[in-house]
Every structure is written in C-alpha cells, then in structure tokens.
Amino acid sequence: MSEPHVRLVNITKRFGNTVAVDNVTLDVARGSFTTLLGPSGCGKTTTLRMIAGFHDPDAGDIFIGERRVNEVPSHRRNTAMVFQEYALFPHMSVFENVAYGLTIRGLPKPQVAQKVRATLKFLALEGLDDRSPHQLSGGQQQRVALARALVMEPEVLLLDEPLSNLDAKLRVSVRTEMTQIQRSLKLTTIYVTHDQEEALAMSDAIAVMHQGRVVRFGTPWEVYYRPRDRFVADFVGLVNFVEGRLVEVSPQVLVADVAGRSLRFAPEGLALRPGDGVLLSIRPECIGISLAAPTGAANVLHGQVAVSQFLGRLVRYWVAVDASTWVVDEPDPSTYSLLSGEVYLTIEPGKVHVIAAENKDKDEGGR
Amino acid sequence: MRRLENAFWFAFAVPTLGIVLVLFFAPFLYSALGSFQSKSGQLTLDNYALVARLYTKDVLYTVGIATFSLAIVLFIGILLCGYLRVYGNKLVEFLFKIPLFVPFVVVGHAMRVFLAPHGILNSMVAQIGLINLDNPPSLAYSWLGISLALAWKNMAMAVLLILGAFRSVHETYLEAARNFGAGAIRQTLDVLLPMSASSLAVASVLMFTSMLASFSIPLMIGGGKGAQMTMIDVYYRITYQGDYGAANALGVVSYLLASGAAIYYLRTVTRK
C-alpha cells in the first residue's frame, strides 16, 4: 500500500448512549478510491462526516496528510463532499452552483469563470450553465454536484452514496464514469455505500463496517473471497456456509467432516489440527453443477434442484443436499435449458475458504 | 360514491363557510356599500372625497409605519433566525417568542413606559451621560415609537414563521455551503433566505396586514397630534362623529392596501 493520505486513529463517535463509530482505525492510501461499505446504521456515513468536519469525534484522531484535523473546520480541511441528495442550491443555475465555493474563497470573477467552465467541460456539462438544477436529469445533477466539489481542487473527495437516487442502469454508467474521473485525477476518494456490487466495482480498497467497527479492510478481491468473519462473507454477496470438523491435516490439503461427508480444501497457511472445528465459505459461482456424475473431482455432492431462477447472465440454483441447501450460480446459461431433478455439485479445494476455526482444546480463538 | 363523498365534505364545510359568510363577507359588503352612501342613503362618492381631503396623509403615514416596522422585523428576524437555524439556541428562541403571549394593550403600555421622556430607556441612557433628563428626547408619542412597538410585538410571530421556513431547508444544503466556507451570515443570505423566499413573502404579508390594522399600540404610543394611523381615524370617525360612511370608506381604503398583499398570499398558498 502506498503512503496513507487520510488516517483515522481509534476514532469513536457517540450520539447519546448509541456508539455510532467504535474505535475505528483506518489508513486510506493517497490517490486511492476507498469505500466504506456496510448496512444502514453501521457508522459509515458518520465516519465520512467526521472526516468532512461535520461531526467531531469523541475520541481518536483524524489526519489528512501529516496534519491532524480534529479541530479544523470543514472548509479548511481541503476536502469536498458530494451528498446523497446532491444538495444543489435550487435557486442557483448550474454555473452559480459550481462557482459558489470559489466565490466564497474570494477568487476574482474571471478566474472563477475560467475554472468553472473548465470543470463543466471536463464533466461533459457544457451548455448546461444557465439551467436550474430541477431542469437536469438525475445523472446530470449528480455530475453537477461532482463538478461543484472538483472545482475546489480538493485534496480528498468525499462521496456519500451519490448514486443511490439513480435508476439501476444509469447507476452502472455513472459509476463507470466516476471511476474513470477518479483514476484520471488520481484524487484520494472516500466513498460511502451500502451497495456491495458498487463497492466491488469501483474501489481500490473496501472497509466493511458493522456496528460502528471496521470488520474487514482489503482489496475488493480480498473482501469478497477472503472474508474473515461470517458477517462480511454474508453481507458482501451470496455465500454457502459450511460447518465441519477436521479429520485430516496435511501441508497440501485439509479434510473436514461435514454432516457425514468429506470436504477437501486448501490449508491457506493455517495451523490447524485434526479435531478442530471450521466454518467454511464457498461462493455460489465457485461450485460447478451438472446432470452427469463428474469424474476426478476432489469434492462431489449429489443433490436435488429445489428452486431455480433465470437471471439473464446466470442461473441461480438452490440444491438440496441431505438436510442442507446449497446456492449455486451457473454462468452463461445461453447454451442449455435450466437443470432440474438430480444434479451433481463439484467444489475445487482451492475455492473453499476457512472463515473461522475453533481449536478442539478451546485454547485458541478464531482467526 | 364520489358524489356522496363530495356531498359529505361539502356538508362538513358548511358551518365554517357559514361563519365566514355571516361574520366576514356580509359585514364587509355592508360596510363597502355604506362607504358609497350618504347619511340619507343616497349613492355618493362624498365619503371618499372626504377621506382623500382629510386622511391621505394618515394613509401614507400608516403605510410608512407598517413598512418601516416590517423592515425592522425582517432585518432582525432573518439574521436572528439564521443564527438560530445554523447554531441553534433554545433559550434565545424562547425569549424571542415571549411577545407572542403578550396582548397588544400590554405591549402598548409597556412600550410607553419604556420609551417615555422619563421612561426606562432614557433613564438608562442618562446614566451614561448621553442625554439630559431635564430636556429628554422621546421615542414614545412619535412614529418611531409606534414602529418600534409594532416591531417588538410582531417579532415573535416573525421568528415563528421565518424559523419554521428556515427549518424546512434540509441540513445538507447548509452543510454544502459550510463545506465551501460559508459562515452563518452567508448560509442565511445565500441559502436559507432564497430557499425560503415564498414562505418569507407570506409571513411579510401577514405581518404587514396585521400592522396596517393595528389599533391599541398606535393609540397608546401615538402622540394624539398630527398624522394618525387609519384605524384610529376609523375609531374617532365612528365614536365621536357617528360618521359611518367616512369610516367605511377608510376601511375600504385599508382593505385595498391590504388586498394587494392578501392576493399574493392567497396565490402563494393555493399554489402550494
């Protein structure tokens, strides 16, 4: 990771008796796109607002670069925020909205005009200068809000669920645009969302928050495929959880007994012993499904299709195996019809991830 | 079913409508008609000619005082409500709402005591040697005294209405302005004021018409000499001269002054 640009050190924020943010420590790399991801009420927006200077932390320190900014007012932190509802001033034109911050800064009018026009051009908003915000589409409003933030040339850009008011299709195109803009400017960006797909698609790093704490921080791949607890695995995408007990341990492979069946998986460098309990996670797209019995596969399960859903780019199956149900995603369903009846599931050992392990002697915690 | 529903709601509105017709429209029409009648019942414009000859100055005086008082109320009210909206201060908010519960007559008396030549204000100013109490200036018994008293009395209503309008502006607009470095005054003038413009206009109309119709405060604080506010003229015309025709004409003129503002109010309300 490159040098941290924004550092949160043990920050805590309480509202009455409620702890909104609980002892959060986080390093945001310079020039990165970092997302605070979590369900409603997890503390992500409060964290962002503390970085922006709208809330003061009750404990801990916030650094932007080398500067501790706890007591620095919002406009002296050199951050710019894009709000969920955009907060474009309805009585001002697009031009006036974008120029507002520069005017307050006291820049000469020609300089303001030049900067505003350049920013509007950069965001493909030319020709909309004189329009009122209510005359713009949702996507245009979102870009004007971004222009109003970018024109200030902030050190750090803060985005509070800016896509949540857009329809699904527009959201995808705007998030691509937004990522391209961020990459081209190499601007340190902190983004808040509850949408895990958005977070995975846009971010260099994701901090998953739960009950005021950061429970996982890593790249999108690490967060998705290497969750460290049940909450993260469950919140970020669909997952199959499997509980078992280790029956065989070797440097190459671990074998767990899962409801009377053997499941082989990679050790991932863990120091485990036979008899240890394990919680495993397997993503639906990591499981193969077929009507014919596969040969040579390390893990094969035999079950019955209970439900299937055609989702266009994939088919999602719920397969009953003994007393449990497995979710399986089959990509590219364009060449066959939906499967039904008895099926075989295959799982590669390398695609099984150990979320938690419990030592049989109870002398070790989970990982 | 729809017709039945309409009939029900019409029946529901009848008592209210009836009171408005009987207690407002009928007397208003009666007065308006009376303003075009002589004492013998002949149709005439003499009452208006009398009003134009004797009371033009008073009408202008009334409009001037109402406008000046409104300007004071809006100036203080907007800045105060901006401060209360941005920073919040329950105590200050409560203090400014106290006049709401003080009757007009009490305000008139209190302001007379406060602004009189040997009243509290002059006594305090004399303490620091700014005036000589042997020859004190007097805000009471002047147009300025009436304006200040009306402004004080209407301040609570202004705070109630303006603060309500400012509070309906979502916090994120203020945060956006704050993020760019706008202080409380710029947040008020750049964001709160324009975003509450229609509510503020409605509040101004309500206060302006209330000031035009004020009676007890001008009666108690006014000097009794020179120009008077029109409601006092109406009172004297009826009580001492029994001249209902001229009093009605003065009433119609006052109504016309207020109606411009009232039309704006009704249009704004119905648009909402």
Chain B contact for A84, CB < 8 A? yes
How many folded domains does chain A comprise? 2
- Give yes or no: residues B126 and B21 share one domain: no
- Any domain includes A260: yes
CA distance B194 to chain A (A): 7
Q: Which residue has the higher pLDDT, B157 or B116?
A: B157
Domain count, chain B: 2
Residue B137 domain boundaries? 45-271
- pLDDT at residue B256 in the model: 86
Does residue B139 share a domain with residue B24? no
A365 has a pLDDT exceeding 60? no
Compute the distance between CA of residue B272 and CA of residue B262 in angstroms, rounded to an integer.
Answer: 15
**Whether A26 and A175 share a structural domain:** yes
Question: What was the pLDDT predicted at B271?
Answer: 60
Find the Cα–Cα–Cα–Cα dihedral B195, B197, B199, B204, rounded to 10°. Answer: 150
CATH number, domain of A335, equals 2.40.50.100
In A, minimum Cα distance to B193 occurs at A91
Q: What is the pLDDT of residue A359?
A: 60
ipTM, two decimals, is 0.80
pLDDT (tens digit per residue) in A276-333 = 899 999 999 999 999 998 888 889 999 999 999 999 889 999 999 988 999 999 988 7
A158 domain residue, yes or no: yes
What type of residue is A31?
Answer: G
Same domain? For B146 and B265 the reply is yes
Position A364 in a domain: no
Question: Are residues B28 and B72 located together in one domain of the fold?
Answer: no
Same domain, B18 and B71: no
Claim to verify: residue B71 and residue B172 sit in the same structural domain: yes
Model pLDDT for residues A34-92, shown as the tens digit of each residue: 999 999 999 999 999 999 999 999 999 999 999 999 999 999 999 999 998 899 999 99
How much is the CA Rg of chain A, to the nearest whole Å?
25
Domain match, B1 and B101 both? no
Say if the Cβ atoms of B181 and A80 lie within 8 Å.
no
Indicate whether B75 belongs to any domain.
Answer: yes
Q: From the CA of A170, how many Å to the nearest CA of chain B?
A: 24
Same domain, A199 and A94: yes
How far are the Cα atoms of B125, B127, B136 from residue B130, in angstroms, in the given order? 6, 8, 10
Question: By mean pLDDT, which of A280-289, A323-332, B73-82, B138-147 is the weakest?
Answer: B138-147
A297/A350 same-domain check:
yes
Residues A110 and A214 in one domain: yes
**Res B103 pLDDT > 90:** no
Q: Residue B171: pLDDT above 50?
A: yes
With a cut of 70, say whether residue A252 has pLDDT above it: yes
- Segment A11-28, tens digit of pLDDT: 999 999 999 999 999 999
Helices (H), chain B: 2-20, 26-34, 46-86, 90-97, 104-115, 120-127, 143-167, 171-179, 184-186, 193-195, 197-212, 216-221, 230-239, 244-271
Residues linked to residue A303 through DSSP beta bridges, in sequence order: A343
For residue A28, give the CATH number of its domain. 3.40.50.300
Which residue in A187, A89, A44, A58 sits closest to B178, CA to CA? A89
The mean predicted confidence, pLDDT, of chain B is 88
Residue with tokens 């607890």, as numbered in its chain: A229
Examine the domain organization and report whether A99 and A206 are in the same domain. Answer: yes
Domain that holds residue A119: 4-229
Percentage of chain B with pLDDT > 70?
97
Residue B124 lies in a domain: yes
- A192 and A284 both lie in a single domain: no
Q: Identify whether B40 is part of a domain.
A: no
Residues 136-195 of A with CB under 8 A from B: 148, 152
Q: Which of A195, A229, A263 is the last residue of a domain?
A: A229
Give the domain CATH number at B123. 1.10.3720.10
Indicate the residue of B179, B190, B191 with minimum beta-carbon distance to A52: B179
Residue in A with minimal Cα distance to B196: A91
- Specify the DSSP class assigned to residue A34: E
- CB contact under 8 Å between A89 and B182, yes or no, is no
